[in-house]
Structure 1
Amino acid sequence: MDVEAAYDYLTYVRGVNPHTIVAYGRSIGSGPTVHIAVKRSVLGVVLQSPISSVYKVKVYRLPCTIPGDMFRNEDKVDRINVPTLILHGTKDNVVPISI
């Protein structure tokens, strides 16, 4: 995944301390952010208007996630073990807070 390559570049090539990285993702970008927060060490996470899953954004009211959905945030978010800030407006028409 590209997010893992970016993380590896920052930490291994540029020498950035992983415990100084705050992962940020907005909308569909929350998928890679949750992924890296679960797989690697980070200081914290900020999710702005996060999606629950890519498929749920495409097919509103889907009751569950589907195999093959790369970014099943709702299945992974409980495995984030660092401070996490979630921001989402109730009048968001692009990514409704319900999904």
Structure 2
Amino acid sequence: MVAPEQVRVTTTRQISVEGHDPVSLLISWLNELIFLFDTEYLLFRTFTLEVISETQVRGRADGEVYDRQRHDLSSAIKAVTWHEAAITQTAEGYQARIIFDI
């Protein structure tokens, strides 16, 4: 939505989500970030994961409130879709495929 270099770190939110598998967990995490933008106008730049398992992620997101004077908002994301959502393990780590509804 906004280039990361445009976001300052002035606020922090604790985020905890659950899912029944890694894909649903990733979708829950991303939907929580969208919810925080929709309700509190928060943009995030850095993330610290404190707990991560197959069914739970708990961590911290750092960023700031959206400022139309400073942030170049390309488009708002309405939701994360389940269409073709996937997580695969590669030699370098993990790769995710997510499609957003804008």
Report the TM-score range of the alignment, normalised by the length of the smaller protein: under 0.3
Identify the structure with the greater strand proportion: 2
Query: So what's the TM-score if we normalise by structure 2?
Result: 0.26
Higher relative contact order, chain-length normalized (CA < 8 Å, sep 6+): 2
Identify the structure with the greater helix proportion: 1
Query: So what's the TM-score if we normalise by structure 1?
Result: 0.27
